[in-house]
């Protein structure tokens, strides 16, 4: 009798363990696909969120530059009213916001800006930079306005960039010369340059070579 009871208990326990294992396996089968889906979503989410954040950051940078452009033009027209007609008749114009650092005999300038094509309103974002020598120690924020009176000059400037000196002398890199690319051409008559500093409108842009290039981050 005792043996029969013992065997009955063992059979019951084995049956219970079998049911528990079956239930656990079924639950695992049901939850694994969901877990895989969540894992895949979790894997993709950071990339998507990162892309969205990067696009939002670029959009904010573009808006800041365009807002700076509008404020700069308004200030330029106030300081030098005749420039409004000059820009209205031009093929396009560029506005840059820059910061200059002057330490003893070193000059460093870095900034960003935008070229506006007057024919269609398309904006091309650009960078500017300069490294050279000059007297003094200090820090200065300024804005530069370039007015293009020649379409080919403006188009080439947007594509290849250029160097500009104190008097508004511009050398455009990559301008077609003799039927081949890679040449350089100066366009003094085809360009007007203005610079607004904390003291107002400068008599001429800061001397020294300033290099402009298309902004690969914002375009």
Residue matched to tokens 């330029």:
76
Burial of 44 (0-12, 13-18, 19+ CB in 10 A): exposed
Q: Is the pLDDT of residue 160 over 50?
A: yes
As a whole number of angstroms, the distance between CA 175 and CA 192 comes to 19
Q: What are phi and psi of 108, to 5 degrees?
A: -130, 130
pLDDT bin (cut points 50, 70, 90) of residue 213 is very high
Q: State the pLDDT at residue 195.
A: 85
Q: Is the pLDDT of residue 8 over 50?
A: no
Domain boundaries in the chain? 75-214
Q: State the pLDDT at residue 149.
A: 94
Residues, the chain: 219
Higher pLDDT, 73 or 189: 73
The Cα diameter of the chain in Å comes to 119
Pairing of strands 106-117, 123-133: antiparallel
Q: What is the mean pLDDT of residues 42-60?
A: 75
| Chain-centre distance for alpha carbon 132 | 25
Q: What is the mean pLDDT of residues 197-202?
A: 73
Tokens of 205: 């842009």
As a whole number of angstroms, the distance between CA 87 and CA 94 comes to 10
Q: What is the mean pLDDT of residues 146-174?
A: 82
pLDDT bin (cut points 50, 70, 90) of residue 165 is low
Higher pLDDT, 8 or 185: 185
Q: Centre a 10 Å sphere on the Cβ of residue 61 and count the other Cβ atoms it contains.
A: 15
Tokens of 108: 């460093």
Q: Is the pLDDT of residue 55 over 70?
A: yes
Q: Is the pLDDT of residue 33 over 60?
A: no
Q: Model pTM?
A: 0.68
Q: Is the pLDDT of residue 46 over 80?
A: no
């Amino acid at each position: 009798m005792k043996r029969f009871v013992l065997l009955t208990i063992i059979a019951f326990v084995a049956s219970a363990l079998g049911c528990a294992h079956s239930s656990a396996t079924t639950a695992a089968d049901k939850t694994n696909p969901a877990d895989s889906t969540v894992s895949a979503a979790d894997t993709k989410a950071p990339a998507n969120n990162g892309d969205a954040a990067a696009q939002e950051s670029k959009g904010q940078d573009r808006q800041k530059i365009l807002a700076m452009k509008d404020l700069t033009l308004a200030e330029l027209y106030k300081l030098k009213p005749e420039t409004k007609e000059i820009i209205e008749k031009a093929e396009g114009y560029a506005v840059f916001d820059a910061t200059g650092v002057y330490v003893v005999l070193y000059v460093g300038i870095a900034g960003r800006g935008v070229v506006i094509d007057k024919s269609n309103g398309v904006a091309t974002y650009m960078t500017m930079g300069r490294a050279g020598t000059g007297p003094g120690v200090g820090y200065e924020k300024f804005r530069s306005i370039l007015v293009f009176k020649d379409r080919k000059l403006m188009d080439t400037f947007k594509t290849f960039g250029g160097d500009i000196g104190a008097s508004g002398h511009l050398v455009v890199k990559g301008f077609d010369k003799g039927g081949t690319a890679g040449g350089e051409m100066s366009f003094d008559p085809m360009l007007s340059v203005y610079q607004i500093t904390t003291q107002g409108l400068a008599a001429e842009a800061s001397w020294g070579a300033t290099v402009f290039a298309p902004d690969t981050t914002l375009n």
